[in-house]
């Protein structure tokens, strides 16, 4: 194998990688792709780090120079790579909404609204901000119901599950961005501090006053990519239009 892959999350920590490789150039594009597994210690595999906008190292570029992989590492039949990948992508799309993260971030936003003061008054008493919080919580409830619906449709092998997985990816990642924006807003001046250390903005434990903004700005920066990785929102909307509306 020869080639390269960019934006590979946690390749620097991985022991194995799965690859889509072209094994037949004489057939339709999708039909000539095979699904392989490779040990990251295989000679010819090089990982180059990429530091993302949040200042942390999640991403990498991976290079493959004359890499040899055993035939036993082929998953499925040769040429079946795209069929396998479509199944994995649908699961990734549904999982990208990251329901646990959404729940924790909304919980933290509510906690901040109940503790932060603006001109001596609790932020939750600000009708505009309280309305924003209520809308986020309603959207979170909708995401929970959508997750349950996608899971049920997957069990029934419904063809519409693919489109709903894309819909969940769009709605969930957009909600991640909106929540982290409001977290920064809730912090006021404290939200302007972007700590260089990686921290979990979804942490449920209250932070000391001097560390109240820790991790929130970096999380907001990282979530800018949520609507891009795993398939951009524009691509997901195309899948929804094609599957549900035959456009």
Instruction: Please count the other Cβ atoms lying within 10 Å of the Cβ belonging to residue 15.
Output: 7
As averages over each run of 10 residues, the pLDDT of the chain (247 residues) reads 94 96 90 96 97 86 97 95 88 85 92 89 94 97 91 81 87 95 88 55 46 76 90 91 81
**Same domain, yes or no, for 36 and 104?**
no
Q: Domain range spanning residue 11?
A: 3-88
9 phi and psi angles, rounded to 5 deg: -70, 130
Burial class (CB in 10 A: 0-12, 13-18, 19+), 155: exposed
Average pLDDT value for the chain = 87
User: Which CATH number belongs to the domain containing residue 22 in this structure?
Assistant: 2.40.110.10
Q: Return the structure tokens found at 34.
A: 């095979």
**Same domain, yes or no, for 118 and 134?**
yes
Beta-sheet pairing, 45-50 with 3-5: unpaired
pLDDT reported for residue 188: 82
| Domain finish residue from 55, 88, 121 | 88
**Same domain, yes or no, for 101 and 183?**
yes
């Amino acid at each position: 194998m020869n080639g390269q892959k960019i934006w590979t999350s946690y390749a620097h920590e991985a022991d194995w990688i799965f690859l889509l490789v072209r094994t037949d150039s004489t057939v339709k594009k999708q039909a000539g792709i095979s699904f392989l597994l490779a040990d990251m210690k295989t000679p010819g595999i090089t990982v180059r780090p990429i530091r993302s906008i949040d200042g942390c190292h999640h991403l990498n570029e991976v290079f493959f120079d004359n890499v040899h992989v055993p035939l036993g590492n082929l998953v499925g039949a040769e040429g079946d790579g795209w069929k396998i990948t479509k199944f994995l992508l649908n699961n990734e799309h549904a999982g990208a909404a990251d329901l646990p993260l959404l729940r924790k971030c909304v919980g933290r936003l509510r906690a901040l609204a109940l503790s932060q003061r603006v001109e001596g008054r609790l932020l939750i008493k600000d009708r505009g901000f309280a309305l924003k919080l209520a809308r986020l919580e309603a959207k979170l409830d909708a995401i929970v119901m959508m997750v349950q619906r996608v899971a049920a449709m997957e069990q029934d092998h419904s063809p519409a599950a693919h489109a709903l997985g894309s819909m969940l990816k769009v709605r969930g990642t957009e909600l991640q961005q909106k929540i982290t924006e409001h977290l920064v807003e809730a912090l006021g001046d404290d939200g302007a501090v972007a700590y260089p250390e990686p921290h979990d903005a979804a942490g449920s434990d209250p932070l000391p006053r001097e560390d109240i903004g820790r991790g929130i700005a970096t999380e907001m920066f990282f979530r800018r990519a949520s609507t891009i990785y795993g398939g951009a929102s524009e691509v997901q909307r195309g899948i929804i239009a094609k599957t549900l509306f035959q456009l």
